[in-house]
Amino acid sequence: RVALELSGVERHYSQGEQALSILKGADFRLLGGQTVALVAPSGTGKSTLLHLAGLLERPDAGEVSINGRACGSLSDPERTAIRRNEIGFVYQFHHLLPEFTAVENIMMPQLIAGLSKKEARERASALLDYMRIGHRAEHRPSELSGGEQQRVAIARAVANAPFVLLADEPTGNLDPETAGYVFEALKALVKQSGLAAMIATHNYDLASKMDRRITLQDGKVVELA
Ligand code: ADP
Ligand code: ADP
């Protein structure tokens, strides 16, 4: 099953008088259950690609499809609904809500999606156990280590069982050992849930542990060995 597909995607910015072509016909497919590392130097368009894949921006040409559904002709509210229910985001800095506990942070997107408190708490607890931090459920973010915070952020991102997980340097502010643990937990989750994960990272060690590696070259997606 193709969870994420970009075909012929173009994105051009204007910088003063000049047009800056960042994506020039990018093609890419990611299957459910696959992890792909997006490895490219700063300024080549990683954030642009993640924003397009996450339906935060619209391409100037080409099509982005989530779980087989072409999103180009959809309205903004329809795209927002897909973003909430079918796509999860993880950032370098976790953006957890400081006044809520770990389990409450993970319940939040489910409550917004209309689940009951009981259902949301059950799924949040299961995810915390899966990420091996069940014993930290009632702690607030400030009481958690960096690795624990990032695992809560990943659990929150997948709380609504999305098809696609997009992560921008999710372990960028962690020491290598902790980054390794967090990534292993993420990978286990991907395999268990059939989620497709695209992870922008500068960490070659982590990239080497993913199913695939891609980069951006000349405005196109290029597969690395
Ligand atoms: P990366 O994430 O790889 O660092 P970005 O996708 O953020 O790259 O940006 C790629 C290039 O496009 C950069 O040169 C950046 O300055 C430019 N750029 C990004 N967003 C805009 C924008 N909204 N307007 C003009 N230029 C932009
Ligand atoms: P730190 O507290 O140093 O930031 P973490 O938050 O990543 O570290 O993890 C807390 C503890 O949980 C670590 O000491 C580690 O031994 C253990 N741990 C975390 N993830 C795993 C895992 N996937 N497998 C085994 N042990 C783990």
End-to-end CA gap in the chain: 23
User: Burial, 177: exposed, middle or buried (Cβ in 10 Å; 0-12, 13-18, 19+)?
Assistant: exposed
Choose the residue to mutate in 24, 47, 214 for probing ligand 1, maximizing ligand atoms within 8 Å of C-beta: 47
Ligand 2 atom with the smallest distance to the CA of 133 is 12
Pocket of ligand 2 (CB under 6 A): 132, 145-148, 178, 181, 184-185
* Dist. CA 53–CA 165, nearest whole Å: 10
Query: Is residue 190 classed as helix, strand or coil in its secondary structure?
Result: helix
The model's pLDDT over 24-71, given as tens digits with 9 standing for 90+, comes to 999 999 999 999 999 999 899 999 999 999 999 999 999 999 999 999
Q: ipTM greater than 0.90, yes or no? A: no
| Residue (of 221, 159, 162) closest to 196 by Cα position | 162
Residue-wise pLDDT tens digits, 125-164: 999 998 889 999 999 999 999 999 999 999 999 999 899 9
Nearest bound ligand to CA 42? 1
pLDDT averaged over every residue in the chain = 94
Backbone angles phi, psi at 43, to 5 degrees: 90, 0
Contacts 24+ apart (CB under 8 A), 75-81: 79/55, 80/55
Pocket residue to mutate for ligand 1, from 9, 10, 13, most atoms within 8 A of Cβ: 13
pLDDT at 64: 98
Q: Is residue 47 within 6 Å of ligand 1 at its C-beta?
A: yes
How many CA atoms within 13 Å lie on the side-chain side of 204?
Answer: 4
Distance from Cα 156 to the centre of ligand 1, integer Å = 27
pLDDT tens column, 114-125: 999 999 999 999
Helix (H) or strand (E) holding 224: strand 220-224
pTM of the shown model: 0.85
* Long-range CB contacts for residues 43-50, cutoff 8 Å, separation at least 24: 44/215, 44/216, 45/11, 45/216, 45/219, 46/168, 46/200, 46/216, 47/168, 47/200, 48/11, 48/22, 48/23, 49/6, 49/23, 49/216, 49/221, 50/166, 50/168, 50/198, 50/200
Order of strands across the sheet that contains 220-224: 87-90, 164-168, 196-200, 35-38, 212-217, 220-224
Task: Please name the residues in contact with 126: beta carbons below 8 A apart, sequence gap of 6 or more.
Answer: none
| Strand bridging mode 61-66 / 69-70 | antiparallel
pLDDT, residue 11, reads 97
